[in-house]
Structure 1
Amino acid sequence: MGIFKKIGPGILIAAAFVGPGTLTVCTLAGVRFGYTLLWALTLSIFATIVLQGMASRVGLVTQRGLAGVVKKELKNPWLRNTVIIIILAAILVGNAAYEAGNIGGASLGLAQLFQNQELTAWNPLIIGILTFFLLWMGTYKMLEKVFIGLVATMGLCFVICALLAKPSAMAILKGALVPQLPTESLLTVIALVGTTVVPYNLFLHASLVKEKWKSETALKSVKWDTIISVSLGGLVSMAILITASAAPIQEVTGAADMARGLEPLFGKMATYIMSIGLLAAGITSAITAPLAAAFVASSCFGWNANMQDKRFRMVWAVVLFFGVFFLSFDIKPIEVIQFAQVANGVLLPVMAILLLWMVNRKSVMGQFRNSTAQNIFGLIIVVFTLFLGIKSIFKVIGLF
């Protein structure tokens, strides 16, 4: 049990990438392609552990946010300002757009849980108020405890659903370890990776690590926190895909379709379990998206603010407001979300390259620079994120 005591910021990262978007994409992948795309999640988990591991190390050693390190180390004013603008645009605008999806997913979970469609119009406001309260009252230690509870609930719900579906163990093993690319599955693979390897989580992780630990002596704890937490998050994603593969679901239009698909097979119990999982997934992501935006703004503008700072609270409040606003007034922020996808498509490879550069600089990391093996893995992932970024941009602008 000693290892589990090391879990800290990583659990917030796991909670951030297992949101309603991940639930929808994993359900879609399972319904359309069965277990054959599980390998994409295996690859994504590995890439996430490597990138988040580097980001958390930078945060611990420098006691700065990633944007602050970039500002300090990039000496060319034009290059520095360009990178900071990309970061701010992708994180602030992107997270405001994605926040609507997070709150929407939690609202669907709440509506299905209480089977009361009359509440649906009020659900975004209810979720927004709950999120506001947790962020306003939250210290790092409080949020950590809340997230451990929510992720445990979410994980238990989805794993129970996967077991209820009685999947084939051999098919799961083959799907997780043997790469296959069925016809018309490439964009689904990109979506699976894109919902796991999330650019804003790199900023969030570096900032949260320095909230919890203040000395390089905690490097081992940071490493195990990242490995355990990201692996648990990946297990949840896999459980969702496995459930969708084994369950009699015909069509997927959103995050709630899994619950409806399981009901004929397992009755109301399955619907309630899946609804609780969806509610927990939505709330966790609804908290982490504004939180990440606030940390990035603080780092970019050099505020050096804590979580109770007025400026810090103003940033997350604005992101949260737009998430609730889009949903409450039934606004479809398609153009904003498309911009967010493009911005994140640019930001992911940019940050992967910058991370690799930062963890090899003596002025940043001193004796804690990357090893040769870490650099090899890092370079492979940089190439991978470049491919992912280019494809996501082409997808949005309609070239593929």
Structure 2
Amino acid sequence: MAAPFLETPSLPEVFSSVGIPAAGSWFRKLFAFAGPAYLVSVGYMDPGNWATDIEGGARFGYELIWVLLLSNWMAILLQTLSARLGLFAGRDLAQACRDYYSRPVSLTLWVLCEIAIVACDLAEVLGSAIGLNLLFGIPLIVAVVITAADVLLLLALQNYGIRKMEAFIVSLVVIVGLCYVVEIILAKPVFGEIVSAIAHPRLRNESLYVAIGILGATVMPHNLYLHSSLVQSRRVNRTENDLKAAAKYNLIDSAVALNLAFFVNAAILVMSAAVFHRNGVVVTEISQAHATLAPLVGTALSSTIFAIALLCAGQSSTITGTLAGQIVMEGFLQIRIRPWLRRLITRSLAIIPAVIVIALKGEQGTYQLLILSQVILSFQLPFAIVPLVQFTSSREKMGRFANPRWLKALAWLVAGFIIALNIRLLMMVMGADCCRP
């Protein structure tokens, strides 16, 4: 049983650093709260999402778009719970786990979370490297090594404060979103088939592996730790009315940001279905998707836009991944190291498997590694979701702001659904029943 919550703030360099106007319009206050969910949302459109969305669209057409929509709804629910924990309890998820669980359990959760962060960073390494390769012709192995230099970008942004970092990330998100508006226009999808796929969901054994990859790419465990910390960057009075207002603004922030992320992911899957599945093209690597876009769509612009969006997605995700790593290490272990050192450690652990796979299997191996990294993330999800639902449902931790019964039931239903899917996939893999290309 747990020690009481300690007073050490989460991410002290940005804690309570953004003021909230006491007066002014509703929109002005909403703008002051806007930001944390956008930093979180970039993890929902990182290169790992690209791989699962492209494979899902190329192999199964529009069939799995309902999985994306369901995953997005679950993400909004879970990120809202994460924000509530940080706002009402004043603790990020890692700190809450350390305070409540025994040390062996807490350390186990820390290790699992670090594995998830490395798996996520692996996707960012590969995505950024492939983007550099497609745009500038840099050899893939060299591009992977170059990605280690993004620590300089992180250091530059941190010197300008959290609001400037949020603005930079939002800019990258907007670029990715605009790129896919153009891609959808060029791809000319059949919208009636998209609506039909959402209205009549189906999930076959053949598509389960990719479906769980989509789930792992959309609902990311480290984002639950990240969001519970970032909401504490706002300076909120601890009165009941102000806390309730902050929760409302954070909910709007999450809904808008994550629905934007859903649009990007849906656009990737729809583009893949409209271009590749429709023409019978089997995509086994992202560079192949890039190369075949131009002849199938009819313009080289589509391939260039694809590569730019991929590079922006990789770079935006790498920044938030580093913040999540800091939060997890400080929260679980109470150890603070310099952000650039933390970045290099995580990136080094991600680069090693990337280089090995590229050397042994070439570019096709990187695509398979991207999909695998997202499935690994899905397997880590229950170890973040269960503590999150437990803490936000506890009156001991949340007081009168604990989850109401309906929200508690819905949250446990989501947790149970994700756990059941993971068990099903594990049974299929162990029984060699899972169809893979």
Common topology (TM > 0.5): yes
Aligned with 2:349 (options 318, 322, 330): 322
Partner of 1:132: 151
Pairwise CA distance, 1:396: 6.2
Cα distance in 2, alignment partners of residues 25 and 103 from structure 1: 16
Change (3 A) 1:193 1:363: same
Change (3 A) 1:210 1:381: same
Task: Decide which structure has the larger Cα Rg and report it.
Answer: 2
Change (3 A) 1:141 1:320: farther
More moved, 243-252 vs 120-129: 120-129
Cα distance in 2, alignment partners of residues 71 and 95 from structure 1: 18
Aligned with 1:247 (options 275, 284, 297): 275
Aligned with 1:231 (options 259, 263, 268): 259
Aligned AA for 1:44?
A: S
Are the counterparts in 1 of residues 229 and 327 from structure 2 also a CA contact under 8 Å? yes
Cα distance in 1, alignment partners of residues 264 and 32 from structure 2: 20
Are the counterparts in 1 of residues 37 and 257 from structure 2 also a CA contact under 8 Å? yes
The answer to whether structure 1 residue 263 and structure 2 residue 294 are counterparts is yes
Change (3 A) 1:397 1:341: farther
Partner of 2:306: 274
Aligned AA for 2:290?
A: A
Unaligned runs of 5+ in 1: 75-79
CA deviation map 1:205-229 (0-9, x unaligned):
1111112454424211211111111
The Cα RMSD (Å) is 2.8
Cα distance in 1, alignment partners of residues 225 and 64 from structure 2: 28
Are the counterparts in 2 of residues 341 and 392 from structure 1 also a CA contact under 8 Å? no
Partner of 2:423: 390
Aligned with 1:123 (options 139, 143, 147): 143
Cα distance in 1, alignment partners of residues 233 and 266 from structure 2: 30
Change (3 A) 1:4 1:260: farther
After TM superposition, what 4+ stretches of structure 1 lie above 6 angstroms from structure 2? Answer: 331-334, 336-343
Change (3 A) 1:157 1:341: closer
Pairwise CA distance, 1:320: 2.0
3-state DSSP of counterpart to 1:256: helix
Partner of 1:77: none
Cα distance in 2, alignment partners of residues 300 and 237 from structure 1: 32
Alignment of 1:35-74 (within 5 A): 35-74=62-101
The answer to whether structure 1 residue 359 and structure 2 residue 392 are counterparts is yes
Aligned AA for 1:202?
A: L
More moved, 228-237 vs 285-294: 285-294
Partner of 2:47: 20
Cα distance in 2, alignment partners of residues 184 and 293 from structure 1: 34
The answer to whether structure 1 residue 173 and structure 2 residue 200 are counterparts is no
Aligned with 2:249 (options 221, 245, 248): 221
Pairwise CA distance, 1:126: 3.1
Are the counterparts in 1 of residues 212 and 378 from structure 2 also a CA contact under 8 Å? no
Alignment of 1:201-212 (within 5 A): 201-212=223-234
Are the counterparts in 2 of residues 162 and 243 from structure 1 also a CA contact under 8 Å? yes
3-state DSSP of counterpart to 1:273: helix
Pairwise CA distance, 1:362: 1.7
Unaligned runs of 5+ in 2: 1-25, 238-242
Q: Report the number of matched residues.
A: 386
Report the identity percentage: 27
The answer to whether structure 1 residue 283 and structure 2 residue 289 are counterparts is no
Pairwise CA distance, 1:56: 1.1
Partner of 2:381: 348
Cα distance in 2, alignment partners of residues 30 and 213 from structure 1: 43
More moved, 266-275 vs 175-184: 175-184
Partner of 1:372: 405
Are the counterparts in 1 of residues 118 and 346 from structure 2 also a CA contact under 8 Å? yes
Change (3 A) 1:213 1:52: farther
Cα distance in 1, alignment partners of residues 117 and 248 from structure 2: 31
Partner of 2:206: 184
3-state DSSP of counterpart to 2:381: helix
Cα distance in 1, alignment partners of residues 49 and 124 from structure 2: 10
More moved, 258-267 vs 193-202: 258-267
Are the counterparts in 1 of residues 92 and 229 from structure 2 also a CA contact under 8 Å? yes
Pairwise CA distance, 1:397: 5.5
Pairwise CA distance, 1:125: 3.3
Cα distance in 1, alignment partners of residues 248 and 235 from structure 2: 11
- State the TM-score, normalizing by the size of structure 2: 0.80
Pairwise CA distance, 1:315: 2.5
Cα distance in 2, alignment partners of residues 52 and 238 from structure 1: 19
Are the counterparts in 1 of residues 213 and 372 from structure 2 also a CA contact under 8 Å? no
Are the counterparts in 2 of residues 99 and 286 from structure 1 also a CA contact under 8 Å? yes
Are the counterparts in 1 of residues 43 and 317 from structure 2 also a CA contact under 8 Å? yes
Change (3 A) 1:340 1:160: closer
Are the counterparts in 2 of residues 96 and 323 from structure 1 also a CA contact under 8 Å? yes
Change (3 A) 1:54 1:399: farther
Aligned with 2:108 (options 86, 89, 93): 86
Are the counterparts in 2 of residues 134 and 143 from structure 1 also a CA contact under 8 Å? no
Change (3 A) 1:259 1:206: same
